[in-house]
Amino acid sequence: MGVDQLGPHLAAAVAAGGGEVGLPTYLGLVIVLAVGCQWLAWALRIPSLLVLLLAGFALGGWQRADDVLGRDMVFAAVTLAVGVILFEGSLGLRLRDLRGIGGPVVRLCTVVPLIAWALLTGAAYLVGIDGRLAALVGAILVVTGPTVINPILRQMRPTRRVSSLLRWEGIVVDPIGAILAVLVAQAIIAVAEGDTLAVIAVSLVRTLATALVLSVPVALGLSVVVRRHWVPDYLQGVLFLGVALGCLVGSNEIAPESGLLTVTVLGIVLANLPGLELRHVREFKEHLQVLLVGMLFIVLAGRVGVDEVRDVAPQALGLVALAMLVVRPVSVFLGLHGTSAAPRERTLLAFMAPRGIVAASVTSIFALEFRHAADALADMADRATVPARAAELQQQAAALASLGDQAQRLVPIVFILIVCTVAVYGLGVGRLAERLGLASSSPQGVMFAGGGPWVVHACEQLDALDVPTMIASDRPQDVARARMKGLTAVRINIVSEFAVEGLELGGIGTFIAATDVDSTNSLAAREFVRILGSSNAWQLRRDDDPGGESNERTAPAPHIVGRYPFAPAVTHDELTELSDQGMVVRRTTISDAFTFDDFRRAYPQAVVMFTHRAGRLSVFTEESDDPEDCVVVALTSDREVGKRSVRNAERKAAKEAGAARRSGNGEAEAPTQ
């Protein structure tokens, strides 16, 4: 299907008003649902694909995309969108991330899919699928993909090793699975038409050659264009998008379904060219990918009817059970045997194989391919002059047409498998990863950039609350001071590429830039926003930020400044001065017996840093509400001074409240630790 078909279909859809609803109405509704469902899933902390699929099924019951856009338009748009998603994912695949995991990644992308294909073929045959279609189903279902892996990884927050293993497998195996499925389909058609399997070998060689010949020179050409500034920055994102789509379409014209492999290789080559800065391109693609994933799942799920699902449910559920409980564990443990993957990593990988958009989109195509092949054979039979040959061709056409009808039943089967695997893996793999010590779905740890004395004291207090901490500094004395206290400390430049992309942040949920250089703090805070989110990346108040009545002439630009932690928001110099005066970080229990107001009266100069309640840590700020029933971590004055302040506060309150106050409501001493 070429893009030259898109224009007529789009024009026809617009002219017809899109069937029951207009095209603008339908597309607008799909976009709103795509965004709204992912927002809702984030708020509920559940896999977004579950909400998207449910919304898609509901929308399809009212209006199907085929009725609005036309089937060819839907498949063409899906192909382009999947190509963009794979290109975006491959731009983040750095070869340096393979250090220590190169062997497991190679096995995950070669041996494991082959074992899975064989086992899935057998599983599909066991549940009653025709042997030829069973081989096709097995090829389709070896894929996982970034559309399902990335949302789960964002929620699960695994270690970098596990994240790299899953991302490499998901992105690289997607085009491999699509190509394998195409080769199986071509083999089925070739055998039906009486051709030799040599056709399949030629097709495979052509696919691989096309991907390499197109992707590598184009990547090198793009790098020259960017490095020589032949294109302005604001056009680079759309330039890369256009080039990727051009490679996808051109590759498919040369070798059918080779485009996905081409754009994947293109992204990997670009990501690993030395000195090529593509961050703004990746950010553009990330935002586009989020929208496309939502739209694709809603549109494709809407093509599956309730009756179709009901008819194949027993067969599909049997395949789901075999795929999850037998195929994936066996293929992973056999495929990774003898590699550097640790046993707990293999265990997690064995129970992490959700299926994504490539499986959904590719399945829908093959029923049409078989029918097209059947129609072509029927035409040849009509033109045949030898009766025996005509009868043979008619018989082959009838067999392929019957196979096409059976292949149509694969679509709801694959969607049931997608829903089940996303639900089970998305909801359960996070708990498994936490039990294995490979992830934290709700990380509470704190990472400090800078290792001054007050930072070390704060980490000691947090450590006593079982909150993981990490100190990152480029000063040897800071790292030595922290390690002497038994704390985790690394010597790095916090604004280095390694700090952002190579540092292991398992269990870390909060970042606080606390160096003595404001510009470094600002840069680091903005970088860690991309990793932890804007609500979890902080920096100490800058010296040049007057606060209060500041305006655009005096205040730093908001886009270069992180959020300010603590109450009051203090600068590095102010914290250092308070620490030099003898103030230290302590824990204080806030309760009905000793309220936060009592704490403030006892320690009027205290800098409140964190609150800890029911195992959850929160950064305290000037906008925070007064805490209740929690532990406060704060920089406070000498303990005896605090006790005298409490007694003075008690006397003053007693005089004002009268005898009832003195007899029944005396305030307690500050329970500092």
Strand partners, 471: 448, 489
Quote the tokens at residue 434.
Answer: 């936490």
Give how far the C-alpha of residue 579 lies from the chain's centroid of Cα atoms, to the nearest Å.
41
Which of 493, 525, 560 is the endpoint of a domain? 560
Provide the whole-model pTM.
0.73
**What's the confidence (pLDDT) of residue 311?**
86
- Between 639 and 426, the more confident residue is 426
Is residue 671, in this structure, part of any structural domain at all? no
Considering the domain architecture, whether residues 313 and 198 belong to the same structural domain is answered as yes
Is residue 508, in this structure, part of any structural domain at all? yes
Grouping H, G, I as helix, E, B as strand and the rest as coil, residue 549 is coil
What would the pLDDT profile of 67-83 be if each residue is shown by its tens digit? 888 877 887 888 888 88
Considering the domain architecture, whether residues 319 and 377 belong to the same structural domain is answered as yes
Considering the domain architecture, whether residues 426 and 457 belong to the same structural domain is answered as no
Residue type (1 letter), 669: E
- Between 217 and 376, the more confident residue is 217
DSSP label of 555: S
Is residue 565, in this structure, part of any structural domain at all? no
Angle formed at CA 558 by CA 554 and CA 564, multiple of 5 degrees: 95
**What's the confidence (pLDDT) of residue 667?**
47
**What's the confidence (pLDDT) of residue 57?**
85
Considering the domain architecture, whether residues 547 and 606 belong to the same structural domain is answered as no
**What's the confidence (pLDDT) of residue 1?**
42
Which of 435, 456, 476 is the endpoint of a domain? 435
Is residue 577, in this structure, part of any structural domain at all? no
What would the pLDDT profile of 291-346 be if each residue is shown by its tens digit? 888 888 888 888 787 788 888 889 999 999 999 999 999 999 999 988 888 899 99
Considering the domain architecture, whether residues 366 and 313 belong to the same structural domain is answered as yes
Considering the domain architecture, whether residues 450 and 540 belong to the same structural domain is answered as yes
Is residue 568, in this structure, part of any structural domain at all? no
Which of 435, 460, 484 is the endpoint of a domain? 435
**Model confidence at 597: pLDDT above 80:** yes
Considering the domain architecture, whether residues 19 and 74 belong to the same structural domain is answered as yes
Is residue 470, in this structure, part of any structural domain at all? yes
User: Phi and psi dihedrals of 566, rounded to 5?
Assistant: 75, 160
**What's the confidence (pLDDT) of residue 438?**
79
CATH number at residue 119: 1.20.1530.20
Considering the domain architecture, whether residues 219 and 270 belong to the same structural domain is answered as yes
Weakest-pLDDT range from 239-248, 503-512, 588-597: 503-512
Phi-psi region at 619: left, alpha or beta (left = phi > 0; alpha = psi -120 to 50): beta
Give how far the C-alpha of residue 339 lies from the chain's centroid of Cα atoms, to the nearest Å.
26
Binned at pLDDT 50, 70 and 90, residue 666 comes out as very low
- Distance, CA of 658 to CA of 645 (rounded, Å): 20
Considering the domain architecture, whether residues 172 and 79 belong to the same structural domain is answered as yes
Mean pLDDT score across all residues of the chain:
82
- Distance, CA of 257 to CA of 241 (rounded, Å): 19
Give how far the C-alpha of residue 173 lies from the chain's centroid of Cα atoms, to the nearest Å.
17
Binned at pLDDT 50, 70 and 90, residue 222 comes out as very high
Residue whose tokens read 């097209």: 372
Considering the domain architecture, whether residues 344 and 453 belong to the same structural domain is answered as no
Binned at pLDDT 50, 70 and 90, residue 642 comes out as very low
What's the Rg (C-alpha) of the chain? 30
Q: How many CB atoms lie within 10 A of CB 633?
A: 25
Considering the domain architecture, whether residues 450 and 493 belong to the same structural domain is answered as yes
CATH number at residue 489: 3.40.50.720
**Torsional sign, CA 289, 290, 291, 297:** positive
What would the pLDDT profile of 113-154 be if each residue is shown by its tens digit? 999 999 999 999 999 888 888 888 898 888 887 777 877 777
- Distance, CA of 493 to CA of 153 (rounded, Å): 26
Is residue 417, in this structure, part of any structural domain at all? yes
Binned at pLDDT 50, 70 and 90, residue 15 comes out as very low
Q: Give how many domains the chain has, as a whole number.
A: 3
**Model confidence at 652: pLDDT above 70:** no
Is-contact 137 412, C-beta < 8 A?
A: no
Question: In three state form, how does the secondary structure of 442-510 look?
Answer: CCCEEEEECCCHHHHHHHHHHHHCCCCEEEEECCHHHHHHHHHCCCCEEECCCCCHHHHHCCCCCCEEE
**What's the confidence (pLDDT) of residue 446?**
93
Outline where 491-566 has alpha helix (H). Answer: 497-501, 518-532
Is residue 499, in this structure, part of any structural domain at all? yes
Considering the domain architecture, whether residues 295 and 318 belong to the same structural domain is answered as yes
Give the structural domain span for 598: 583-664
Q: Where are the beta strands (DSSP E) in 582-645?
A: 584-590, 607-613, 616-619, 630-636
**Any long-range contacts for 342-350 (C-beta under 8 Å, 24+ apart)?**
344/436, 344/437, 344/438, 345/104, 345/161, 345/162, 345/165, 345/438, 347/432, 347/436, 348/158, 348/162, 348/429, 348/432, 348/433, 348/436, 348/438, 349/108, 349/162, 349/165, 349/166
Q: How many CB atoms lie within 10 A of CB 475?
A: 14
**What's the confidence (pLDDT) of residue 196?**
59
What would the pLDDT profile of 511-529 be if each residue is shown by its tens digit? 999 999 988 999 999 888 8
Angle formed at CA 11 by CA 24 and CA 372, multiple of 5 degrees: 110
